Amino acid sequence: MGPPPDGTGRPGAGRSWPAELLRAPVAWRTWRSVVYLLAAAPLGSAAFAALAAAGLACLLAMPLALVGVVLLGVVLHAVREYGAVSRALAAAVLGERVPAPRRRQPADRGLLPWLRAALGDLDGWRAVAFVVVSTPVRVVGLGAVALAAGTAVALVASPVAWLVLDPTQVDADGTVHRSIVQFGDVYVDTWPEAMTVAALGALGLFAAPWLARAAAVDVALVRALLGPTRLVARVESLEETRALAVDDTAATLRRIERDLHDGAQARLVALAMHLDMAREELVGDAVDAERVGRARTLVGGPTGTRPRPSPSCGRSPARSTRRRSTGASTRRWPPSRPAARCRAG
């Protein structure tokens, strides 16, 4: 694993450029970028060739009724799958996770709804654009890294090869030069010149890894063409926020309802206990005991059942008679506040 990220969120972002230049050949990001280009360049080349062949087949099959259109829908579907592979590769090698765009579903079963969904899928056409644009970036990036690194290694090793192989070259005038490196008409045939070339090669070794950062350009293309658009991402974020708000509101309402129910029930139980204690204390006073017992009945029975208020308490006789005649239940909980004449006893 590489060094931990600093406050900017990027590994080594707080270092100065000389330190970054010296660490470039051994930095984890450099080697991951090289591995990514080694895997992505052949994959992109194969996808580009397959897309070109499929596009040519679609053009040739267009006169054959729906054959060309169906083939085009299949190509768009396959290119979307290639986009999924590219996203997985970026996540596995570089740690860049790009969410997949939402797939457009057909409105109904059948060939025509599937064709409408496939041909109207904007993300499928964006994946086609990704294949066309990213393939040159991958191939050129990998080629530049290989050429720069190979040239730098050859220059660094040139003094050793010059000493061991003892090469000779003849110029246009017939002069023999003991040189293994030649720049036009300039022959490197002395030790100072050979060491200077080796120093230039060493600088190339530190500069070549920066060409591997072309992988960052490819990752930017992955995000731009294979990920969801800003509008879609915004809509999905709003939908998720709304769903969370609805769930939180429902949970809050359930908690309030539970608290209200539990609190009222606890107060009723406490009141019933106090009334039982008061009735026990008023055993000798029949009138007060009857009043306490009546209040106890309003709070709840001895077994915790709901009270049955008198039909004449708190409503008109006509309403009570109508309820009894229809057989409808008139019990409510908690009991409604008794009328003044019921409280008078």
- Strands 181-183 vs 176-177: parallel, antiparallel or unpaired: unpaired
Which of the four pLDDT bands, split at 50, 70 and 90, describes residue 49? very high
For residue 176, report the phi and psi dihedrals to the nearest 5 degrees. -90, 130
Q: Indicate the pTM of the whole model.
A: 0.58
Which DSSP string do the residues of 82-112 spell out, in sequence order? HHHHHHHHIIIII----PPPPPPPPSSSSHH
Between CA 127 and CA 123 the distance in angstroms is: 6
Residue 212 CB neighbour total at 10 angstroms: 26
Q: Determine the pLDDT at residue 163.
A: 81
Residues written for the chain: 345
Question: Does residue 14 have a pLDDT over 80?
Answer: no
CA 133 from centre of chain: 24
Which DSSP string do the residues of 108-134 spell out, in sequence order? SSSHHHHHHHHHT-HHHHHHHHHHHHH
Q: For residue range 243-298, what is the model confidence (pLDDT) as tens digits? A: 888 888 888 888 877 776 666 667 777 777 777 777 666 666 666 666 666 666 75
Residue 244 CB neighbour total at 10 angstroms: 10
- Least confident among 93-102, 169-178, 273-282, 304-313: 304-313
Between CA 312 and CA 340 the distance in angstroms is: 12
Question: Does residue 138 have a pLDDT over 50?
Answer: yes
Alpha-carbon Rg for the chain, nearest whole angstrom, is 42
- If one compares 151 and 104, the residue with the highest pLDDT of the two is 151
- Selection from 134-138, 162-166, 177-181 with the highest mean pLDDT: 134-138
Q: For residue range 205-248, what is the model confidence (pLDDT) as tens digits? A: 888 888 887 788 888 899 888 888 777 667 767 777 888 888 88
Query: What residue segments make up the domains of the chain, in order of their start?
Result: 17-226, 251-307, 310-345
Peptide linkage before 63 cis (omega within 30 of 0): no
Local structure of 182: helix, strand or coil: strand
Local structure of 34: helix, strand or coil: helix
* Amino acid making up residue 136: P
